[in-house]
Chain A
Amino acid sequence: MESSILTLLIFVPVAGAVLMLPFAMLYGKENAHYYKWIAAITTGIQLILAGILYLNFDPALSIAESPFTVQMNWIAHFNIQYFLGVDGLSIPMVLLTALLSFICIISSWKIEKQALGYFSLFLLLDAGMMGVFLSMDFFLFYIFWEVMLLPMYFLIGIWGGPKRMYAAIKFFLYTLFGSVFMLLALLALYYYSDPHTFSLITLIHTVGSIDAEIWGISVKYLIWISLFIGFAIKVPIVPFHTWLPLAHVEAPTAISVILAGVLLKMGTYGLLRISYPLLPGEVVNFAYMLAVLGVINIIWGATNAIAQIDMKKMVAYSSVSHMGYVLLGMAAVISDSPAGAQAGMNGAVMQMFNHGTITAMLFLLVGMIYERAHHRWIIFPNDYEKPELAGQQGFGGLGAKVPVYTGFVAFAFFAGLGLPALSGFISEAMCFIGGFSVFRTLTIIGTLGILLNAIYFLRAYQRIFLGPLNEAYKDLTDISHRELFTLIPLVVLILFLGVYPAPLLDMISPAMDGIIKIVQSVI
């Protein structure tokens, strides 16, 4: 059982997608009922499996020692392995993926358009994401990375908003551009390491001895850069970020949730899983750069978010800002203060998880208002289709009309602006504390984010929910039971981890200690 759980986590969704085919033949493609139930049950099983994994997970064990690890030859000739494993870095991501996938299926309940396609593609996407977080073989990792890409392309391109084709192709090309670099790094690591291997565990020990050069530049440096570009696009690190607001805005609600909640984490996850342990020397050289980029993300993302008049775009830019905290925390790995290094690294991984839950909640909430009002403008744009509304406030005073919904939004907004007792605060504070131990000036600039993030959330909150009720919404209905069902798990997690973060940190910190040790050994 233990050794098959990781495989099941990946392939249960695939099985669900395959199972849809006979139903499609028997009952026709348009009968959404069957497909959403199949998807809900499969992701439900996946969530239970993830829960079992969590309960039996021992953070003290390394990948090699863990009973969950699966390692067997796949393409023996090239030493490509089917190698799955889970440690403190991946388990928060696995749990997040399983939870958000399930929630997203429930929130997609009203999808009627080509339901077969939607739910089967979603399950494939789910499998790809799980695969990325569980692969310990770089080749396998790369396969899953690409597997994710295609369903995502279609999910945005078919079920998205008015500019969905443009958004989908932009997302696809941007990511593919990064993938090419990752592929180069993958091949270089394979050929330069001795013995030739894709195993991320073996590579930790073999990459160090590479001292080859190409055109007078160290190969390791080139590998770092290639990997960095590949991952930076996913994070996204400014200036590789412009696919994100567009894709988020055009994607259907559930897909935005997955994009922001899970896909963005793959960038920083990849850095921590691959770049950090394999190339510690480059990490040390690049740490300052990472911190600079992190601070730029924080400030640039938040400044842009302030100017947005589309709720979804605002939340999208807030993601750019919040991922900056992760980068700043990660950069602290080189800190000569053990407390600083640990605060930064643990804070970064925790922030990845917490941003996942918080931003998921934000997108779900935006989706709910969109479903009711058919728009999500905070302020109507000047070229709005109905000229009498252009430049007017989109909503206003909803707090009196839909108090429960308002309460959830307030909760999510305050979580987003890092209010203590909600999970985002601790991880953000730890990223800053870590960053401060190495990069004082940069971190001080970064702390401006504390203010900037509050500005756009509170401005939006005021414009939408406070003030006199906009008469156009006097018949607005409050939140439904199904919607409550999608939000409550997130609320519980955000509150629980805000009040008591130890369970999450206890899982993460042994893995971070390992990475810190590797990086610090080359200083």
Chain B
Amino acid sequence: MENYSTTLALLNLFLPLLSFVILIFFGKKIGNAAHWVALVLISITLGIAISIFANVFVNTGLPILETSVPWFSTGSFSISLGFLINNEAAIMLLVVALISFLVHFYSVGYMKGDPRYSRYFAYLGIFTFSMNGIVLADSLIMMYIFWELVGLSSYLLIGFWFEKESAANACKKAFLTNRVGDIGMFIGIMILFFTIGTFQINGLVEGVHNGAFAGNMNLLTIAGILVFMGAVGKSAQFPLHIWLPDAMEGPTPVSALIHAATMVAAGVYMVVRIFPILTPGALEFIAVVGGITAIMAAIIAITQNDIKRVLAYSTVSQLGYMIMALGVGAYQAGFFHLTTHAMFKACLFLCSGSVIHAMHHALHKLKDHDTDPQDMSNMGGLRDKMPITFWAMLIATLAISGVPFFSGFLSKDAILAGTLSYYHLHHGWTIFLPIAGFGAAVITAFYMFRLIFLTFFGKPANEKVYAHIHESPFQMTFPLILLAGLSFALFFTLPLSVNPIDNHGWFTEAVPMIENAAGLDMHAVEEGIHHAHYTAMGISLTVAAIGILLAVLFYLLRKVDAAKVAGVANKLGLYNLSFNKFYIDEIYNFIIYKPFLTISWLCSKLDWDVYDQKFVDGWGWLTLKLSDKSGEVDYNWLDQKVVDGFGKITQYFGKNLKLTQNGVVQNYLLGGMLGVLLLIILIQQF
């Protein structure tokens, strides 16, 4: 049985990689049939994911699969690779495979005619492979490996249309921003490793449970926050959220798959995995980050005009919700929202893709290359022309806005109950969390309906374009219908409950509350959530209604002039603040990016022009100067003066003494006598 499950897990992991390998090497030959390779392999992957998922309903209390093999070892230091499939992982595998399959399917229509058609499907393959790796990983180091690999596939897909400067910038920004978080994650992993001695997630939980950090819980808090940094990057949490909206430069199906439903949820999933070792301190930090992200991104989404950007900020905001849920201990709710969000947000993105596709083709026919096909102010009234897209998008919008009967209502409600309960337990500043939660809820309902009204209602902005709008082909509408269907609450509560406001169902059975090994009393949390449940539901229904109502007044009935309100708000700079995304990009640019580049430039000047050319070569110059001098001394003085001096003296004497050699024998004799006399005198002296 275990071998069988291992084989399934291996196939689930590697089939998408096979798709990548085939399409990268033979893509040119396969050409426009590339999607067949990818579709067949992803379908099998989906089948396997479903069969693994079936185990969720068999409650054994044990993981579905836990296995590992040594990767390498140097004796004391070793790393093993393995799978840990519990219910959460099995659900996540299904989510990934399902959305990936639908996106493959959808892309057949959306990417038709692209010059790099086969490469697109190859990239989808490597993405699905890496994402499955994150889900299956049984150790933090393995997770980190696939973590970086999804970063790569995200880079490749965001930059898929790399001829556009904006796409080229966006993919680089995404990779680098993620790396900032990854550094923290890596350091956190190292702390955990050297304290507990393992990278295995289960081993870490056991280690913390057995008191590996006893007396040093602050270190565990720090480690938890550091590992969470990875999620801040990947799940686009404040302050590293800046890459996700730019990532919309990628093809829209990619945005649905990677930047809405799965990869960005990997951070949330990671926090789910390590939840038992997160201390209350770390969780508090996580909750605050999530809360800030949820409300801030929602505020930004109000004023965006690009249909994909609205959805991008909405994604950031919803991810903030999930993170906040985990932070306040609402483990179940956080993961639940991940799942429901994956469906309705993928649906929303694919719908926006359908709209953009239609706009693009209409503009193409009109040979209009200046009008932005993603700008909502160029749309309007599309519901008659694109009924399937409209209905699917409306259903998904109802889900995200938290309207009963739809999935988002259940999961969001549970999160809000969690924040309320957290406030009841801790009081004080923690009121920020429910405020952020309910505040973001009202704003979400507002901006989502704004999007619906601007796109599908009202008068068409341009009749000529409108005339050329058509509903998308079957490959694109089929995934929309399916995902819209999965946005109904019923699918998450069956078979235990058909009550639309009760979230009990297979999901809550499959993902029960778990124990925290780092000192958080989960029973108190659970009880608190239970008590806060109805209050939260009441408030959340009210705020959703307010949000929708406001949107109706502003954008459907046009009772209130949005521009006027914006103008009033802008007296305090509020509109611009939202429209310019709180100027965070500009701030980073000004305080980090530009100064850093300047520093790096200065360093290179210092390294080369100063240190090398002046200092190092200075020694060379000095040596040359010294050798010049010594050469001068050597020749002009030592040689010319001293050595040649002797010669000159010798020459002088020679010249003068030769006069004595005059050939007169008497003189020689006289000289000889004088010499002998001198010798006698000298000898007598001693």
Q: Are B190 and A436 in contact (CB under 8 A)?
A: yes
Q: How far is the CB of A487 from chain B (nearest CB, A)?
A: 15
Verify if A44 is at the interface (C-beta below 8 Å from B). Answer: no
Residues of chain B with a CB closer than 8 A to A432's CB: 186, 190
Q: How far is the CB of A451 from chain B (nearest CB, A)?
A: 5
Given contacts A339-B197, A448-B183, A467-B162, A454 and B176 within 8 Å (CB-CB): yes
| Partner pick for B601 among A307, A346, A433, CB 8 A cutoff | A307
CB-nearest residue of chain B to A245: B608
Q: Are A242 and B612 in contact (CB under 8 A)?
A: yes
| Partner pick for B149 among A308, A339, A419, A433, CB 8 A cutoff | A419
Q: Are A420 and B611 in contact (CB under 8 A)?
A: no
Given contacts A432-B186, A433-B193, A436-B190, A454 and B179 within 8 Å (CB-CB): yes
Q: Are A304 and B162 in contact (CB under 8 A)?
A: no
CB-nearest residue of chain B to A407: B24
A246 to B620 Cα, complex, angstroms: 16
| Partner pick for B604 among A307, A447, A454, A466, CB 8 A cutoff | A307
Verify if A414 is at the interface (C-beta below 8 Å from B). Answer: yes
A466 to B600 Cα, complex, angstroms: 23
Interface residue ranges of B583-634 to A (CB < 8 Å)? 597, 599-601, 603-604, 607-608, 611-612, 616, 620
Q: How far is the CB of B148 from chain A (nearest CB, A)?
A: 5
Size bin of chain A's contact surface: 35 or more
Interface residue ranges of A473-518 to B (CB < 8 Å)? 500-502, 505-506, 508-509, 512-513
A424 to B285 Cα, complex, angstroms: 34
Verify if B429 is at the interface (C-beta below 8 Å from A). Answer: no
Q: How far is the CB of A138 from chain B (nearest CB, A)?
A: 28
Q: Are B607 and A242 in contact (CB under 8 A)?
A: yes
CB-nearest residue of chain A to B191: A436
A509 to B73 Cα, complex, angstroms: 9
Residues of chain A with a CB closer than 8 A to B556's CB: none
Verify if A162 is at the interface (C-beta below 8 Å from B). Answer: no
Verify if A338 is at the interface (C-beta below 8 Å from B). Answer: yes
Residues of chain B with a CB closer than 8 A to A343's CB: 74, 77
Q: Are B152 and A419 in contact (CB under 8 A)?
A: yes
Q: Mark A239-274, 1 if CB is under 8 A from B, else 0.
A: 100100110000000000000000000000000000
Residues of chain B with a CB closer than 8 A to A72's CB: none
Verify if B353 is at the interface (C-beta below 8 Å from A). Answer: no
Q: Are B152 and A414 in contact (CB under 8 A)?
A: yes
Verify if A208 is at the interface (C-beta below 8 Å from B). Answer: no
A454 to B612 Cα, complex, angstroms: 26
Q: Mark B140-170, 1 if CB is under 8 A from A, else 0.
A: 0100111011001000000100111101110
Verify if B180 is at the interface (C-beta below 8 Å from A). Answer: yes
Of the candidate stretches A15-23, A77-85, A121-129, A457-465, the one touching chain B is A457-465
Residues of chain B with a CB closer than 8 A to A239's CB: 611
A49 to B597 Cα, complex, angstroms: 48
Verify if A145 is at the interface (C-beta below 8 Å from B). Answer: no
Residues of chain A with a CB closer than 8 A to B167's CB: 466
CB-nearest residue of chain B to A508: B74
Residues of chain B with a CB closer than 8 A to A505's CB: 72-74
Interface residue ranges of A401-459 to B (CB < 8 Å)? 414, 419-421, 425-426, 429-430, 432-433, 436-437, 443-444, 447-448, 450-451, 454-455, 458-459
Residues of chain A with a CB closer than 8 A to B616's CB: 242
Q: Are A447 and B187 in contact (CB under 8 A)?
A: yes
A419 to B148 Cα, complex, angstroms: 7
CB-nearest residue of chain B to A343: B77
A324 to B21 Cα, complex, angstroms: 34
Q: Are A451 and B604 in contact (CB under 8 A)?
A: no
Size bin of chain B's contact surface: 35 or more
Verify if A400 is at the interface (C-beta below 8 Å from B). Answer: yes
Verify if A397 is at the interface (C-beta below 8 Å from B). Answer: yes
Q: How far is the CB of B4 from chain A (nearest CB, A)?
A: 25
Verify if A285 is at the interface (C-beta below 8 Å from B). Answer: no
Q: Are A304 and B603 in contact (CB under 8 A)?
A: yes
A340 to B197 Cα, complex, angstroms: 10
Residues of chain A with a CB closer than 8 A to B193's CB: 433
Q: Are B194 and A337 in contact (CB under 8 A)?
A: yes
Q: From DSSP, what is the main secondary structure of chain B's interface residues?
A: helix
Q: Are A512 and B175 in contact (CB under 8 A)?
A: no
Verify if A98 is at the interface (C-beta below 8 Å from B). Answer: no
Residues of chain A with a CB closer than 8 A to B163's CB: 397, 400, 466-469
Q: How far is the CB of B82 from chain A (nearest CB, A)?
A: 15
| Partner pick for A467 among B148, B168, B597, CB 8 A cutoff | B168
A339 to B514 Cα, complex, angstroms: 32
Q: How far is the CB of A335 from chain B (nearest CB, A)?
A: 10
Residues of chain B with a CB closer than 8 A to A289's CB: none
Verify if A303 is at the interface (C-beta below 8 Å from B). Answer: yes
Verify if A135 is at the interface (C-beta below 8 Å from B). Answer: no
A459 to B162 Cα, complex, angstroms: 13
Verify if B661 is at the interface (C-beta below 8 Å from A). Answer: no
Verify if A151 is at the interface (C-beta below 8 Å from B). Answer: no
Q: How far is the CB of B243 from chain A (nearest CB, A)?
A: 13
Q: How far is the CB of A60 from chain B (nearest CB, A)?
A: 13
Residues of chain B with a CB closer than 8 A to A461's CB: 172
Verify if A395 is at the interface (C-beta below 8 Å from B). Answer: no
Verify if B76 is at the interface (C-beta below 8 Å from A). Answer: yes
Q: How far is the CB of A89 from chain B (nearest CB, A)?
A: 14
| Partner pick for A459 among B77, B172, B599, CB 8 A cutoff | B172
Q: Are B76 and A342 in contact (CB under 8 A)?
A: yes
Verify if B686 is at the interface (C-beta below 8 Å from A). Answer: no
A303 to B600 Cα, complex, angstroms: 5
A173 to B604 Cα, complex, angstroms: 23
CB-nearest residue of chain B to A447: B183
CB-nearest residue of chain A to B115: A400
A373 to B75 Cα, complex, angstroms: 50
Residues of chain A with a CB closer than 8 A to B71's CB: 500-502
Verify if B471 is at the interface (C-beta below 8 Å from A). Answer: no
Q: Are B611 and A509 in contact (CB under 8 A)?
A: no
Q: Are B194 and A420 in contact (CB under 8 A)?
A: no
Q: Are B183 and A450 in contact (CB under 8 A)?
A: yes
Residues of chain B with a CB closer than 8 A to A469's CB: 163
Residues of chain B with a CB closer than 8 A to A300's CB: 603, 607
A300 to B612 Cα, complex, angstroms: 14
Q: Are A462 and B172 in contact (CB under 8 A)?
A: yes
Residues of chain A with a CB closer than 8 A to B75's CB: 338, 342, 509, 513
Residues of chain B with a CB closer than 8 A to A277's CB: none
Residues of chain A with a CB closer than 8 A to B599's CB: 303
A431 to B652 Cα, complex, angstroms: 77
A425 to B141 Cα, complex, angstroms: 12
Verify if B182 is at the interface (C-beta below 8 Å from A). Answer: yes
A346 to B159 Cα, complex, angstroms: 36
CB-nearest residue of chain B to A410: B156
Given contacts A433-B190, A450-B186, A420 and B72 within 8 Å (CB-CB): no
Additional A-B contacts beyond A242-B612, A437-B194 (8; CB < 8 A): A242-B608, A308-B604, A338-B75, A343-B74, A419-B149, A426-B72, A432-B190, A454-B179
Q: 23 A-B contacts, Cβ less than 8 Å apart? A: A304-B604, A306-B597, A307-B603, A338-B76, A340-B194, A342-B76, A346-B74, A420-B148, A425-B148, A429-B141, A443-B190, A447-B183, A450-B179, A450-B182, A454-B179, A458-B175, A459-B172, A466-B168, A466-B171, A467-B163, A468-B163, A505-B73, A506-B72
The 8 closest A-B pairs by CB, nearest first: A466-B168, A307-B604, A242-B612, A338-B76, A420-B145, A502-B72, A339-B77, A466-B162
Which residues in B have some Cβ–Cβ distance to A below 8 Å? 71-77, 141, 144-146, 148-149, 152, 159, 162-165, 167-169, 171-172, 175-176, 179-180, 182-183, 186-187, 190, 193-194, 197, 597, 599-601, 603-604, 607-608, 611-612, 616, 620
